[in-house]
Amino acid sequence: MQILNQKIQFPNISEADFDGLLALGGDLSSERLLLAYSSGIFPWFSEGDPILWYSPDPRFVIFPKELKVSKSMKQLFKKQQFQVTTNQNFEAVIRNCSVAKRNGQEGTWITESMIEAYINLHKQGYAISIEVWQEDELVGGLYGLDVGNSVFCGESMFAKVSNASKYGFIDFIQQSTYKLIDCQMHTKHLESLGGKNILRTEFVGYL
């Protein structure tokens, strides 16, 4: 594991350990974050910890053509249960994600420094938010990074109403032209939508 300095660079991703941990330190500047994501690397750390950079192998992804939509979700779309927008309130989405409770996790990895960094990326046109509304209330959403025209790197999602984030995620994928959705790590929720592991070398080939 390499300790980063002020120079904007990363070690080769093949040097990551068994858990995918590649490096620590550095900063969350837009330049470094864009280099990381375009190289198959992402930051993941808790408040008070140094910045940790990961590149897991295998990588958990969704191919849009293999997206699975359950019968119950199809019914919600038929009823137009929610309204979905893009980039209407990025800050509200990422802040809701930062306080969302998650099974097996205490606290959040979306620290204030992370929020500021991704808001900057949003202002530059790289970070995207999807908002899910019920009437005029924001009830769900997700955000991530557009890495070229082929890959969307999903970061986090939240839901205040059952199925809201899943609805927004499915709508986003169906409306997009991405070849690959990067989910980073395995979850049963994303597996139910068609997520699967691929080799890191295959994933990097899409970047």
Maximum mean pLDDT: which of 44-53, 72-81, 142-151:
72-81
3-state secondary structure (DSSP) of residue 191: helix
Under the banding of pLDDT at 50, 70 and 90, the label for residue 108 is: low
Q: What is the DSSP letter of 166?
A: H
Instruction: Indicate if the pLDDT at residue 115 is higher than 70.
Output: yes
Quote the tokens at residue 6: 């002020």
When pLDDT is averaged across residues 61-81 and rounded to a whole number, the result is 97
Position 170 pLDDT exceeds 90: yes
In this predicted structure, the answer to whether residue 104 has a pLDDT above a threshold of 70 is no
Domain 2-56 matches domain 60-206 at the CATH topology level? no
Cβ–Cβ < 8 Å for 176, 114: no
Mean pLDDT of 5-16: 95
**Domain segments of the chain as ranges:** 2-56, 60-206
pTM value is 0.93
CATH class of 60-206: alpha beta
Helix (H, G, I), strand (E, B) or coil at 100: coil
Give the mean pLDDT of 64-88.
97
Q: Which residue has the higher pLDDT, 170 or 45?
A: 170
Domain 2-56 has CATH 3.30.70.3550: yes
Percent of the chain with pLDDT over 70: 97
Of 166, 43, 32, 24, nearest to 114 by C-alpha is: 43
Q: Is 190 helix (H, G, I), strand (E, B) or coil?
A: helix
User: Phi and psi (nearest 5°) for 42?
Assistant: -145, 155
